[in-house]
Structure 1
Amino acid sequence: MSGSEDTFSLLSPRKRLLAGLVLALSNFMVVLDLTIANVSVPHIAGNLGITPDQGTWIITSYAVAEAICVPLTGWLAQRFGVVRVFMVSMMGFGLFSLLCGLSMSLGMIVMCRIGQGLCGGPIMPMSQTLLMRIFPPEQRGGIMSIWAMTTLLGPAMGPIVGGYISDNWSWHWIFFINLPIAALCIMAAAALLKPVETETQKLPIDFAGLALLIFWIGCLQIMLDIGRDRDWFGDPLIVILAIMAGVGFLVFIIWELTEEHPIVDLRVFRHAGFSSGVFTLALCFGAYFASIVVVPQWLQLSMGYTATSAGIVTAFTAMTALITAPIAGRMIGSVDVRIMISGGAAWLGLAAFWRAHWTTGADFWTLSMPQIFQGFAMPFFMIPLTTLTLSSVEPSETASAAGMQNFLRTMAIAISTSLVLTIWGDGQRVARNEMASTLQAGDVQAQLGASGFSLEETRQYISNLVDQQSMVISMNYVFFLAMILLFIAAALVWLAPKPTGEVVDTSAVH
């Protein structure tokens, strides 16, 4: 944003501090909502009378809507002003949070989660931009570290808060708790941030590009979400959706590369450092999010964990990430960021390999240790990847590059959620059939019959046992695939040229 060098003088130190805390809180709320629903899916599915597979639409609809809105953030800020966009987005986020909590059907909650994602998309980059405007250059490093902490803490607290609320209150309250936070942020922004509003200008919007973006992403996500219930390409609808997504994607690329004012600036991909960096980020986030989606559901459906306990196991990753985040930040100036990124991705791969050996006999700490181990590596790929990607493009392309980076990260989360649940479900069916074909159940039936079990109870017991084992076998396979992707990501980053070491100006980031 132009003029960020002197806007910090418009606020007193006390107002600046209060504004900084409010902006960090707003970012925390939006990031929290990415994971708060994950552990609550079994509760929501049971309450609405839908399957857990259908319940995952609640996760993916939010992520996809956010991904669609992120590329628009820069245009919205220049057209209407950063503060105004931030406040309107916060109002919309609060309204759709209320409607999510009041939802009584799958259709309604998915539509409201889409609204939440569309409004939440601009909040994260806008809070970052406003922090850069209200703090002087010598304080920006410290305040951005606090902002980054909320980005790490949100996914950690999401499963715990969501689990506790689902177990002790009602799943509706995982959305209602956003209302007082949103109201506080709106009132504080109105009182504190008006002096640092940015200048506006009328800009043309690429409506055709936006329509194509929504079209191909929508077709792709619907295909991924309903494919596992419709035998994939054995169903004509899935084939049609796949063709529509593919054609829409190709037309979108051609249009954006030839449009004078593209909604998504694809020209940034000509920089090798940016391209290898964002694809590394997408692979890492996709593989990392696999555990955030699968582990809480497995613990609740198969291992008898409450939503709160499942959330604690999942959250250990981000808790330990908070410890190493300051270390990673200090190392950026003195260590080649490619070494940090590659090492962090390989470390995550080892954690996935560790989890690929879980069994149904694993206790709480056996399940938690890989999560703790994984957390230490998170900052070593998250923090330097931003430096690598944004230092690889021209200064005038920083906003576009940051928007594309956020877009691919969010899309990776949405797509991996659908793919992981598909692979997990298909793997369960394959493992169950293989076990059923080789199982010698006669002796077990005889022993259980002698213990007083009826024939029906015996069959149900054996069936439950097979289901439990097939679930963990399939999950181990998912983690093995995640390990392979993470090792590929660790190698992919070396396609980037060595960074120049220049300080990246993130004040233009949207």
Structure 2
Amino acid sequence: MTTASSTASFPRDGAAPADRPAAPPGKPPGQAAHPPLEGMQRALGTLALSAAVFMNVLDTSIANVSLPAISGNLGVSTSQGTWVITSFAVANAIALPLTGWLTQRFGTVRLFIGSVLLFILASWLCGLAPNLESLIAFRVLQGLVAGPMIPLSQTLMLGSYPKEKSGIALALWAMTTLVAPVAGPLLGGWISDNFSWPWIFYINIPVGLLSAWVTWMIYRKRESPTRKLPIDTIGLTLLVVWVAAFQIMLDKGKELDWFENTTVVVLALVAFVAFVFFIIWELTDRHPVVDLRLFKGRNFTVGAVTLSVAYGVFFGNVVLLPLWLQTVMGYPATDAGMVTAPVGLLAIVLTPIVGKMLAKTDPRLLVTAAFIVFAVVSFMRGNFTPQVDMNSLLIPTLIQGAGMAAFFVPLVSLTMAGQPPDKIASASGLSNFCRITAGAFGTSISTTLWENRTSMHHAHLTENITSGNAAAQAALQGMQANGMSPQSALASLNGLISAQSATMAVTDIFYASGIIFLILIAMVWFARPGKPSGKPADGGGAH
């Protein structure tokens, strides 16, 4: 599954700052384009926008517990199946910097509804996909068209409420993004066990159609003005090339023996060259697709790097846990969803409290507390064995929600500290691009490490299965005494060793994750304490 969204940050490109309703392009910030909605119209508008956000965020977490079902049905390994997650995340990250330009070119309402309708089409195509290659292609399309949906839903939501109620609007918006990651694993597991995996995508169709229709009926006369603006085509192309090449290298490397294979070497070279040219171009172009000059600020650099590394580690673990439960521990998808879903419960309860504390507490203290919680949870999981029970699995997942509440909100606030109002949208877009891309990279790295360390532990354990090992011979003789043939006894013993090896490998990763979170505590204190310009608002969205 993926995580809950941050609930106090800044809107991405295309979203208005949270202390005022959305303003149309070309008008001074703070000048509302339309009066707030009232009564039933506002309630229906809130429900329609929330439904779209819920559908979007749900789709990033619902596939996690369904990966074994998808992989088995399409005849691929579970490690190849993770492309279903990483392809969506990478495409979504690439689409983020374009949101501001697309909004001014097509208008907030038209772009939002177009994004929802295309998302429905992509979801339908994902469900129809006959093989992994086509499913990945449709997930890329789904990620690309989903990019504008989250920030524009927030913009429209803010414009629906009067200025003094903008906090209520943001709370309703944020609650949706927190509930979806809880529902995703449960719904995905239930669908996989009782129906078939395509239905995790088909369920978007009625929700999306209803959301698009209600949004159009309410907001069609509240469109923002449009104008033609230049777009950094070369920068965008370089961005797509280096991110895609690097992600494919990570995903294919474990299958192709890494740098012993020519394809992997070529992908690495393409990613490196495109990345270098991307940096040079973006630093010299007048209208860069991402403003890399933001990294001149200490807080932005420390915040964005810390957020990206932490999210990459966190998201990699979130994907790895249900994979281990289903492929090694034999958990059905529904039970794996029940183990991973509670991560959002404490986040929902504690996020509003953390939001209030942020006004009078150094955000570095809150982030430190979050990383300590994440480290403790990682070390708890580092003690798992093949005999672990459901309660032992649930407790760290539940505790992790407390860390989520104190992680996204204060860290995004710290990242935005000191940004001038005209840079907030760009800074938010860039930090979210880094975070979501890191999540995709983290997924590939964690699954690759799991495979490699499983093989290593299996080799070490089987070295002891010799005729001179009394314990191994006693185990084999006991199995044969119960009616097994020598070959069946060896196969059974190998199965036990495989389960132990995979468990040792996954606990290695959990333990290493705990160490990384402790190191990140030191990193976050390199940032200066401070308050962001303008009133904090949600926009990060760890969807």
TM-score range, shorter chain: over 0.9
Pairs aligned (count): 510
**1:133 maps to which of 159, 177, 182:** 159
Q: AA paired with 1:491?
A: A
Q: AA paired with 2:125?
A: L
Instruction: Give the match's secondary structure for 1:495.
Output: coil
Name 2:407's counterpart in structure 1: 381
In structure 1, distance between residues paired with 2:531 and 2:46: 31
Please identify, of 443-452 and 472-481, the stretch whose mean Cα deviation from structure 2 is larger: 443-452
Post-superposition shift, 1:49?
Answer: 1.0
Identity %: 40
Say whether residues 1:406 and 2:432 are aligned partners: yes
- Aligned runs of 1:163-202 on 2, under 5 Å? 163-202=189-228
Say whether residues 1:394 and 2:420 are aligned partners: yes
Q: AA paired with 2:217?
A: A
Name 2:535's counterpart in structure 1: 504
Name 1:275's counterpart in structure 2: 301
Name 2:457's counterpart in structure 1: 431
Q: For residues 452-487 of structure 1, what are the alpha-carbon distances to aligned partners after superposition, in whole Å with 9 as ceiling and x for unaligned? A: 101221011001000000011000111112112212
TM-score (structure 1 length as normaliser): 0.97
Say whether residues 1:241 and 2:267 are aligned partners: yes
Q: Is the 8 A contact 1:285 1:413 kept in 2?
A: yes
Post-superposition shift, 1:382?
Answer: 0.9
Please identify, of 354-363 and 21-30, the stretch whose mean Cα deviation from structure 2 is larger: 21-30
Q: AA paired with 2:219?
A: L
Instruction: Give the match's secondary structure for 2:229.
Output: coil
Post-superposition shift, 1:386?
Answer: 2.4
Say whether residues 1:308 and 2:308 are aligned partners: no
In structure 2, distance between residues paired with 1:256 and 1:501: 25
Post-superposition shift, 1:381?
Answer: 1.1
TM-score (structure 2 length as normaliser): 0.91
In structure 2, distance between residues paired with 1:196 and 1:388: 34
In structure 1, distance between residues paired with 2:252 and 2:491: 29
Name 1:453's counterpart in structure 2: 484
Q: Is the 8 A contact 2:420 2:533 kept in 1?
A: no
Q: For residues 320-350 of structure 1, what are the alpha-carbon distances to aligned partners after superposition, in whole Å with 9 as ceiling and x for unaligned? A: 2111111111111111111111211221111
- Aligned runs of 1:72-471 on 2, under 5 Å? 72-439=98-465, 440=469, 441-471=472-502
Q: Structure 1 pair 287/230, CA: closer, same or farther in 2 (3 Å)?
A: same
Please identify, of 310-319 and 20-29, the stretch whose mean Cα deviation from structure 2 is larger: 20-29
Q: AA paired with 1:201?
A: R
Name 1:13's counterpart in structure 2: 39
In structure 2, distance between residues paired with 1:39 and 1:52: 11
In structure 1, distance between residues paired with 2:442 and 2:216: 38
Post-superposition shift, 1:370?
Answer: 0.6
Q: For residues 101-144 of structure 1, what are the alpha-carbon distances to aligned partners after superposition, in whole Å with 9 as ceiling and x for unaligned? A: 11111111110101110011111111112222221221111221
Say whether residues 1:61 and 2:87 are aligned partners: yes
In structure 2, distance between residues paired with 1:143 and 1:317: 24
In structure 1, distance between residues paired with 2:286 and 2:534: 30
In structure 2, distance between residues paired with 1:366 and 1:421: 23
Post-superposition shift, 1:6?
Answer: 3.1
Q: Is the 8 A contact 1:287 1:482 kept in 2?
A: yes
In structure 2, distance between residues paired with 1:307 and 1:498: 43
In structure 1, distance between residues paired with 2:418 and 2:200: 40
In structure 1, distance between residues paired with 2:209 and 2:532: 41
Q: Structure 1 pair 507/169, CA: closer, same or farther in 2 (3 Å)?
A: closer
In structure 1, distance between residues paired with 2:517 and 2:180: 23
Post-superposition shift, 1:505?
Answer: 6.0
Tell me which protein shows more helix as a share of its residues.
Answer: 1
Instruction: Give the match's secondary structure for 1:438.
Output: coil
Q: Is the 8 A contact 2:48 2:212 kept in 1?
A: no
**1:494 maps to which of 509, 525, 530:** 525
Post-superposition shift, 1:183?
Answer: 0.1
Q: Is the 8 A contact 1:398 1:509 kept in 2?
A: no
Name 1:480's counterpart in structure 2: 511
Post-superposition shift, 1:488?
Answer: 2.1
Q: Structure 1 pair 101/501, CA: closer, same or farther in 2 (3 Å)?
A: closer
Two-structure CA RMSD over aligned residues (Å) = 1.6
Post-superposition shift, 1:38?
Answer: 0.8
Instruction: Give the match's secondary structure for 1:377.
Output: helix
Unpaired runs of at least 5, structure 1: none
Q: AA paired with 1:463?
A: N
Q: For residues 31-85 of structure 1, what are the alpha-carbon distances to aligned partners after superposition, in whole Å with 9 as ceiling and x for unaligned? A: 1111111111110111111111111111111111101101111111111111111
Post-superposition shift, 1:509?
Answer: 8.7
Q: Is the 8 A contact 2:413 2:532 kept in 1?
A: no
Q: Structure 1 pair 5/138, CA: closer, same or farther in 2 (3 Å)?
A: farther
Post-superposition shift, 1:502?
Answer: 4.9
Q: Is the 8 A contact 2:347 2:405 kept in 1?
A: yes
Post-superposition shift, 1:227?
Answer: 0.4
Post-superposition shift, 1:246?
Answer: 1.0
